[in-house]
């Protein structure tokens, strides 16, 4: 899954479009990751 995301990110950056969207998705992934870690720790 991560590989596909990276490939899509590279293609979008090459197209010069959708960068803010990619940034938003990346932030959501990070937040989701922290929530999962927090849930596992608690």
| Residue entry with tokens 């590279």 | 10
Predicted pLDDT at 42: 84
Q: Sign of dihedral through CA atoms 13, 8, 3, 28? A: positive
Alpha helices in the chain (DSSP H): 2-15, 19-41
Predicted pLDDT at 6: 74
* pTM flag (> 0.75): no
Could you state, in order of their start, the residue ranges of all structural domains in the chain? 1-41
**10-residue stretch averages of pLDDT, the chain, 42 residues long:** 76 70 84 92 88
Query: Angle at which helices 2-15 and 19-41 pack, to 10 degrees?
Result: 160
């Amino acid at each position: 899954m991560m590989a596909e995301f990276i490939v899509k990110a590279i293609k979008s950056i090459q197209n010069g479009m959708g960068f803010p969207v990619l940034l938003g998705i990346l932030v959501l992934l990070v937040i989701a990751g922290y929530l999962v870690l927090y849930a596992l720790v608690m």
